[in-house]
Structure 1
C-alpha cells in the first residue's frame, strides 16, 4: 500500500518507520518542504515530498499535524482519499474550541466537516509513539495490547486493522467516526496499555 503522511513530527516519523518495515511505500511531508527532513529517509526508509505530493501519492493519507493546523490545508487536497486522523485536541496548544469543550462534537468530526470529500478514520491517536514502536507483539501473545479505531466505512476500518495487526497490536472497533470521542484525551482508553477486553471495557465506560 502507498501511504502519504502529512506531518513529520514524532507521530509521522514513527508511523513512517513502522509502515516501511511492514512492506509499505511511504512518503512523508511537512509544511516546510523536503529539505527540512533530509535525514528522515535514513532512519525510516521513507521518501520525501511536498504536502501536495504526499496527498497525491497515498491511497491512504495520514494527517499527523497539530489540530490547530488542519485548516491551513485546502479542503480539496484530500478529496476522494482515505484519511487517517491521528490528531488530538489539546486546548493549551490548539486554543479553546468551544464545540469540543462542550462535547458537542469530536475532533474527527470537525476534520471530516472540513474535508467533506475525504473518508476519515480515527486511529493512531491513543498511544504514545514510543509505545507504538516498542509494544507490538505477535498474534496470540497473552495480554497483547489493543488499539481503537473509529470510522463510518467497514472497508476503511479493515485497512487500519491490517496496519494495527502488522505493527503488533490487537484491534477494537469503537464504531462510527463520532465514537472516536471515546478515545480522545482525558478518556479511560486514551494512551493506556490495555488488552482487547480491557480496551472494550474502557470504551464502554464513556
Structure 2
C-alpha cells in the first residue's frame, strides 16, 4: 500500500521504519523540510517528503502529531484521495495541547478529530508508550504479545488499521466504533498498560468515562512527582508499573 505519515516524532518514525520493512511504499513528513526527518525513519526504505505531499495519492494516511495540532492538519488531509484510510494516533492532554472546549464538555476525542477532518478516521497506536512500541514488538503468535485496540466506524477501514498494527509487531484487537474510542484514551485501564489479547477486553470494559479525565490528570501528576523526586523521568518499567498501579 501507499502510506503517507504526517508527523516524524517518536511514534511516526517507528511506524515508517516498520511499515516500510513490511513492504509498503511509505512517505513521511514533519513540519519542516524533508532533509530534517530523522534517518532512523528512513532506514528500511521510507522516503522523506514535504508535509503538503504526504497524503497525496496515499491509500492510507497516518497522522501522528500532538492532539493540539490536529485542527491544523485538516488542509493536508484534504489532499488525500476520498477513499484513503485516515488513521489517528493522538491523545488529548490539556496541559500540553491547550484546552479544547468540545472535548472538555464531553465530546469523544476521536469524534472531534473526525469533525476537524470532515471524514471518518481509524484510531490506532494511541494506547502504547514510545518505549513499549519501540522495544516490545513480537512476531505473530508469540506468547505475551501486547494487544492494541483499534476503532473505526467503517468495518473495512478498521480491518486496514488492524492489518497494519499486526505488521508493526502487536496483536490487533477490534474495539468497535469511534463512539467507544474513549475506552482506550488516557486515564483508562487499557491505556499504556501493555495488556495481551486475553487481558485487553476486560480492561476496555472496566473503563469509566466519567472519571477518565480525572485519572488522566492524576496519572500525569504522579508521573511528574516521580520526575521531581528522582531527578529524571521514570524508566520504562517504572512508568509501566505506575500506570498499572492506578487500575
- Is the TM value for this pair above 0.5? yes
CA 1:48 to 1:42, structure 2 compared with 1: closer, same or farther past 3 Å? closer
Question: Unmatched 5+ residue regions in structure 1?
Answer: none
The equivalent position to 1:111 in structure 2, one of 106, 109, 113, is: 113
Counterpart-to-counterpart distance in 2, 1:62 and 1:127: 16
The equivalent position to 2:95 in structure 1, one of 92, 95, 100, is: 92
TM superposition shift of 1:133: 2.8
| Root mean square deviation, CA, Å | 1.7
User: For the Cα contact (< 8 Å) 2:102–2:112, is it kept in 1?
Assistant: no
Counterpart-to-counterpart distance in 2, 1:143 and 1:72: 38
State the 4+ residue runs in structure 1 displaced beyond 4 angstroms: none
Larger gyration radius, structure 1 or structure 2 = 2
Question: Unmatched 5+ residue regions in structure 2?
Answer: 208-247
Provide, for residues 28-65 of structure 1, a one-character-per-residue CA deviation record: whole Å limited to 9, x for no partner: 01221213226355535310111221110421000111
- Does 1:147 pair with 2:152? no
Paired residues for 1:14-163 under 5 Å: 14-37=14-37, 39-40=39-40, 42-73=42-73, 74=75, 76-78=78-80, 80=82, 81-102=84-105, 104-116=106-118, 118-163=119-164
TM superposition shift of 1:180: 1.1
TM superposition shift of 1:169: 1.7
- Match of 2:3, SS state, is strand
- Match of 1:197, SS state, is coil
- Match of 1:4, SS state, is strand
CA 1:178 to 1:159, structure 2 compared with 1: closer, same or farther past 3 Å? same
TM superposition shift of 1:196: 0.9
- Does 1:197 pair with 2:159? no
1:173 counterpart residue number: 174
User: For the Cα contact (< 8 Å) 1:70–1:111, is it kept in 2?
Assistant: yes
User: For the Cα contact (< 8 Å) 2:146–2:195, is it kept in 1?
Assistant: yes
Provide the TM-score with structure 2 as the length reference.
0.77
- Report how many residues are paired: 204
Report which structure shows greater RCO (CA 8 Å, sep ≥6): 1
User: For the Cα contact (< 8 Å) 2:150–2:158, is it kept in 1?
Assistant: yes
